[in-house]
């Protein structure tokens, strides 16, 4: 039997996508003009689907730091830190990042995906149980699988449901890890952290919050949801990525547990993956310093997010959640219409993400925007205008008002 025969359905679905509106999973940025603009199919296009929340990817100081590290440390590390040793830059980033997070310990990973693989599999083992929100990111699910721990899902953002499931599992042996996200990447909603902390006080589990989409975005210090809620000391472990607000590539795990550093020797994704390149580490380090020194970026992001959110509301679009967030998802009734609308938007000059089942909660079809602090008011208004024009032309007639 042909091992790839099972992909025939995927190939057919992809062909239908290209027929309906273009290749939404194969877009090529021919040239990056700025954090918010690129040439796509020869047209200058507003980028509204990059997760570049702080707009830091073209910052001159970050670029210079990467160039300097490239010249001084070379192109790559050619191995894992366990095998080849750490570069001074790795330790420097971990030290400064721990300080930024107000944590005692921080471990840097090569990617955000790897951070979740490593942290889930390092914290929990075959005798333990991981309780995770049903809408958790795929990297969290994959990390749970790698851990070998028993997996229990609870209803999205439902602390009462978690309470019930923990009560049912009281006789289970081993430790219990509960996993939440700061901002959920598809819908833009956030975990009601205070409610979950109350459940934690009752059951005594350890809590991990994935701040991938909330780091740099939420809180007076930009540390994420727990920072915003004033509950950081109630959260045992934090994970996140450098590919959003930091504008680089990599991930992190942080905590205060006295054995935290020994996770390095228990996480196969950390032990057997080549460490981040010097240029990536140096740009991340420069970006963290910049985020700490420039809180106005968070303020501008909040203003831009509110502008897009309310602009879409005024159009009558049905959004993913009712809370202003840098992730603004528009609900669509079916896959063909979603693809058609996405293609019309791209041709009109705005790139957004397309999100379809099975990669979405509850089999929803979404057009997902991510706002940047680098977007100008004019760019936000243009995105709203183009969405309105596409709806008016009939591409999204079923989208408005549900």
10-residue mean pLDDT series, the chain (402 residues): 94 92 91 97 97 97 98 96 94 97 98 97 97 96 97 97 95 94 96 98 97 97 97 98 97 98 97 96 97 96 98 95 96 92 95 93 94 98 96 67 52
Residue 86 lies in a domain: yes
Q: What is the pLDDT of residue 391?
A: 77
H or E stretch at 299: helix 296-315
Q: What is the DSSP letter of 265?
A: G
Q: What is the pLDDT of residue 332?
A: 92
Same domain, 331 and 262: no
Q: What is the pLDDT of residue 20?
A: 87
Q: What is the pLDDT of residue 21?
A: 82
Residue 310 lies in a domain: yes
Residue 314 lies in a domain: yes
Instruction: Find out whether 178 and 236 touch, Cβ atoms under 8 Å.
Output: no
pTM value?
Answer: 0.94
Same domain, 131 and 253: yes
3-state SS, residue 104: coil
Please give the torsion angle defined by the CA atoms of residues 332, 337, 339 and 344, in that order, rounded to the nearest 10 degrees: -100
**Tally of structural domains, the chain:** 2
Q: What is the DSSP letter of 275?
A: P
Instruction: Find out whether 95 and 107 touch, Cβ atoms under 8 Å.
Output: no
- Of 253, 111, 135, 245, give the one whose Cα is nearest residue 188: 135
Pick the last residue of a domain from 239, 259, 293.
Answer: 293
Q: What is the pLDDT of residue 22?
A: 86
The whole domain housing 22 covers 5-57+295-392
Q: What is the pLDDT of residue 173?
A: 87
Task: Give the E-state strand segments of 214-312 in sequence order.
Answer: 237-241, 251-255
């Amino acid at each position: 039997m042909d091992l790839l025969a099972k992909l025939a359905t995927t190939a057919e679905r992809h062909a239908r996508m290209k027929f309906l509106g273009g290749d939404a999973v194969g877009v090529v940025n021919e040239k990056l003009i700025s954090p918010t603009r690129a040439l796509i199919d020869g047209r200058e296009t507003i980028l509204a689907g990059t997760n570049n929340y702080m707009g830091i990817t073209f910052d001159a100081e970050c670029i210079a730091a990467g160039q300097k590290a490239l010249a001084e440390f070379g192109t790559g590390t050619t191995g894992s830190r366990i095998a080849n040793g750490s570069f001074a830059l790795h330790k420097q980033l971990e030290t400064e990042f721990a300080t930024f997070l107000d944590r005692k310990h921080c471990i840097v990973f090569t990617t955000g995906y790897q951070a979740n693989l490593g942290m889930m599999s390092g914290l929990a083992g075959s005798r333990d149980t991981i309780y995770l929100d049903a809408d958790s990111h795929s990297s969290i699910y994959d990390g749970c699988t790698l851990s070998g721990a028993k997996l229990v899902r609870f209803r999205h953002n439902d602390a009462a449901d978690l309470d019930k499931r923990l009560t049912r599992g009281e006789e289970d042996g081993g430790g219990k890890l509960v996993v939440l996200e700061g901002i959920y990447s598809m819908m833009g909603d956030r975990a009601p952290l205070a409610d979950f902390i109350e459940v934690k006080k009752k059951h005594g589990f350890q809590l991990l919050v994935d701040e991938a989409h909330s780091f740099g975005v939420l809180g007076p210090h930009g540390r994420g949801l727990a920072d915003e809620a004033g509950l950081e000391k109630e959260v045992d472990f934090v994970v996140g990525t450098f590919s959003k607000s930091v504008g680089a590539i990599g991930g992190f795990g942080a905590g205060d547990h006295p054995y935290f550093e020994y996770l390095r020797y228990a996480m196969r994704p950390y032990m057997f993956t080549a460490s981040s390149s010097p240029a990536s580490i140096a740009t991340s380090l420069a970006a963290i310093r910049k985020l700490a020194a420039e809180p106005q970026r968070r303020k501008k992001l909040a203003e831009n997010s509110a502008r897009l959110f309310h602009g879409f509301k005024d159009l009558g679009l049905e959004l993913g959640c009712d809370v202003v967030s840098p992730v603004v998802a528009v609900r669509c009734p079916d896959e063909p219409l979603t693809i058609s609308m996405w293609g019309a938007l791209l041709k009109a000059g705005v790139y957004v993400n397309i999100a379809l089942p099975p990669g979405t909660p509850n089999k929803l079809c979404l057009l997902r925007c991510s706002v940047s602090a680098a977007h100008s008011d004019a760019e936000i208004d243009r995105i709203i205008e183009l969405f309105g024009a596409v709806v008016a032309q009939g591409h999204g007639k079923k989208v408005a008002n549900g």
